[in-house]
């Protein structure tokens, strides 16, 4: 839509308010609202001012003024607000120079798409994330100098088989057996369908929804693949919709990768392909029906995976899921059907249009714009430098003898390790000015100061079980 089209659309829908949204540095949608009379065609050029010093990881107090410039192409009506509200996603700019802001995640995604086109390799990078999540009925947590705990509950939780529910009707998915029996074991079919239909009403194509492996309401809803920037926008909508549908129904959703001990965590397997002039470039006659370019792309992901994890697995909790020896895809290898490898080549279809690579290490705690951009930059570096990914690993990795397993590298084991890898390996991200040094420096500093240090300085509740009686 053009700005003129947006104004006509708002009038048609009876919008009384405009909600302007943008993504902060760590990856949470921010917003403010203005009366519909404040939006005219000039607003799509002049933008709206806000305090950038109050946004995490952005401006210092002496340079706080920023602009958010609405993107007319993103206009939709909010599905939850009581008052008819038009939503516009914006891009961040400096109010004096009018230059796009380097730490705006959406700007990074726009530059990644532009860089792809500038290379001549392709013109479109498609991303297809499979974001898993948990639906809980109750969540409580606290962290004080003298106390720290969390409590989660779900009607589906296997720990509730003996609870007096007046009456307890049973049907609780056992640990690692949630994939994916029919109701009444699956309590959440109607809720997930409401989430699916809400997404579709926003114009977001959905391929399927289902229960996932873990007990206590783990779920997955798969969006159809889309170009990188569009998928960054859609992932923001995805999280917003799922959380608000859940709250409306008296439940809560988390994209935290590992909220439960002893059961599967939530990943975000991300399907990637590059196209040019409407033709897929990853289909060919090499291993598993992919092209040589696709193998080079895999080589780029494997080479840069440890640094990528600083963006694709950006929380301390991410590494409770990425533990060697379990089911998480920590092994830096590729395979056609082996789901324990970091990169898989899906074999559901032989159509060239369906041929893509699947990076299985990421999780849904990430900032989609930055994670997808970093993945694309690794893929392009692999293609540009013709990186050989080596032989595929089609064996069961977990049954390999120790001497053979030792030859397979692993993803980082902690967020500090991933951040150290990013410090050592980031030149590929700087190509084309997609990421800038100030973005990388602030990302590392923010993560250490706000997340790594606060977690490692606090006693863990389980340490009292281990050590209090020493």
How far CA 364 is from CA of 95, 132, 372, in Å, comes to: 33, 7, 12
Q: Is residue 187 flagged as an active site residue?
A: no
Tokens (6 digits) for 296: 């080079």
Catalytic residue among 113, 156, 212, 263: 212
Strand partners, 209: 221
How far CA 51 is from CA of 101, 283, 447, in Å, comes to: 14, 47, 22
With CA atoms as reference, report the closest residue to 101 among 52, 136, 62.
52
With CA atoms as reference, report the closest residue to 420 among 444, 443, 439, 437.
444
Q: Is residue 212 flagged as an active site residue?
A: yes
Q: Is residue 51 flagged as an active site residue?
A: yes
Asked if residues 43 and 387 have their Cβ atoms less than 8 Å apart, the reply is no
Catalytic residue among 339, 456, 458, 460: 339
Q: Is residue 98 flagged as an active site residue?
A: no
Taken in order 417, 423, 426, 429, is the CA torsion positive or negative? Answer: positive
Residues 6 or more apart whose CB falls under 8 angstroms from that of 64 comprise 51, 52, 53, 54
Catalytic residue among 71, 78, 104, 132: 132
Q: Is residue 65 flagged as an active site residue?
A: no
Catalytic residue among 24, 71, 130, 137: 130
How far CA 365 is from CA of 179, 257, 268, in Å, comes to: 22, 7, 9
Q: Which residue has the tokens 């009038």?
A: 11
Q: Is residue 132 flagged as an active site residue?
A: yes
- Do the strands 331-335 and 341-344 form a parallel or antiparallel pair, or are they unpaired? parallel
Q: Is residue 163 flagged as an active site residue?
A: no
The upper half-sphere exposure of residue 217, i.e. CA atoms within 13 Å in the direction of its Cβ, equals: 25
With CA atoms as reference, report the closest residue to 21 among 62, 61, 58, 76.
76
Strand partners, 373: none
How far CA 252 is from CA of 138, 248, 336, 363, in Å, comes to: 7, 9, 36, 19
**C-alpha span between 333 and 390 (Å, rounded):** 8
**C-alpha span between 467 and 459 (Å, rounded):** 11
How far CA 265 is from CA of 51, 269, 417, 431, 455, in Å, comes to: 36, 12, 20, 33, 19
Catalytic residue among 78, 104, 186, 220: 220
Catalytic residue among 106, 211, 269, 321: 269
How far CA 95 is from CA of 19, 64, 426, 458, 469, in Å, comes to: 20, 10, 30, 41, 59
Catalytic residue among 41, 45, 51, 65: 51
Catalytic residue among 21, 106, 321, 360: 360
How far CA 89 is from CA of 15, 19, 68, 84, 208, in Å, comes to: 16, 9, 9, 17, 26
For the annotated catalytic residues, the residue numbers are 51, 130, 132, 212, 220, 269, 339, 358, 360
């Amino acid at each position: 839509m053009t700005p003129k089209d947006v104004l006509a659309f708002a009038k048609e829908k009876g919008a009384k308010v405009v909600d302007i949204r943008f993504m902060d540095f760590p990856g949470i949608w921010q917003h403010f609202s203005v009366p519909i009379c404040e939006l005219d065609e000039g607003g799509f050029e002049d933008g709206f001012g806000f305090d950038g010093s109050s946004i995490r990881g952005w401006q210092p107090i002496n340079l706080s003024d920023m602009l958010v410039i609405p993107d007319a192409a993103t206009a939709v009506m909010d599905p939850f607000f009581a008052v008819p509200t038009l939503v516009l996603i914006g891009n961040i700019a400096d109010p004096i120079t009018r230059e796009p802001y380097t730490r705006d995640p959406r700007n990074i995604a726009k530059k990644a798409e532009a860089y792809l086109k500038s290379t001549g390799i392709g013109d479109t990078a498609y991303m297809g994330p499979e974001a898993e999540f948990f639906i809980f009925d109750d969540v409580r947590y606290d962290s004080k100098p003298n106390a720290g705990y969390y409590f989660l509950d779900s009607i589906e939780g296997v720990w509730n088989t003996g609870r007096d529910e007046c009456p307890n009707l049973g049907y609780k998915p056992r640990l690692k057996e949630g994939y994916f029996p029919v109701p009444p074991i699956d309590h959440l079919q109607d809720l997930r369908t409401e989430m699916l239909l809400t997404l579709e009403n926003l114009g977001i194509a959905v391929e399927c929804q289902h229960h996932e492996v873990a007990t206590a309401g783990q779920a997955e809803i798969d969006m159809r693949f889309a170009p990188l920037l569009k998928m960054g926008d859609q992932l923001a909508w995805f999280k917003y919709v799922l959380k608000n549908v859940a709250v409306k129904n008296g439940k809560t959703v988390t994209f935290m990768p590992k909220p439960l001990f002893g059961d599967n965590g939530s990943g975000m397997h991300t399907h990637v392909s590059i196209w040019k002039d409407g033709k897929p470039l990853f289909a060919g006659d090499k291993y598993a029906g992919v092209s040589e370019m696709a193998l080079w792309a895999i080589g780029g992901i494997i080479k840069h995976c440890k640094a990528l994890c600083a963006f694709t697995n950006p929380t301390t909790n991410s590494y409770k899921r990425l533990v060697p020896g379990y089911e998480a895809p920590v092994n830096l290898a590729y395979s056609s059907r082996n789901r324990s490898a970091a990169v898989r080549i899906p074999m559901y279809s032989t159509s060239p249009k369906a041929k893509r690579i699947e990076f299985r290490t990421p999780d849904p705690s990430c900032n989609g714009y930055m994670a997808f951009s970093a993945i694309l930059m690794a893929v392009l570096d692999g293609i540009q430098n013709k990186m050989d990914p080596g032989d595929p690993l089609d064996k069961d990795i977990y049954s390999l003898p120790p001497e053979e397993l030792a030859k397979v590298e692993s993803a980082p084991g902690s967020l500090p390790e991933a951040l150290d890898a990013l410090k050592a390996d980031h030149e590929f991200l700087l190509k084309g000015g997609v990421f800038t040094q100030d973005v990388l420096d602030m990302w590392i500093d923010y993560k250490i100061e706000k997340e790594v240090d606060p977690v490692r300085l606090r006693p863990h509740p389980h340490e009292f079980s281990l050590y209090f009686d020493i």
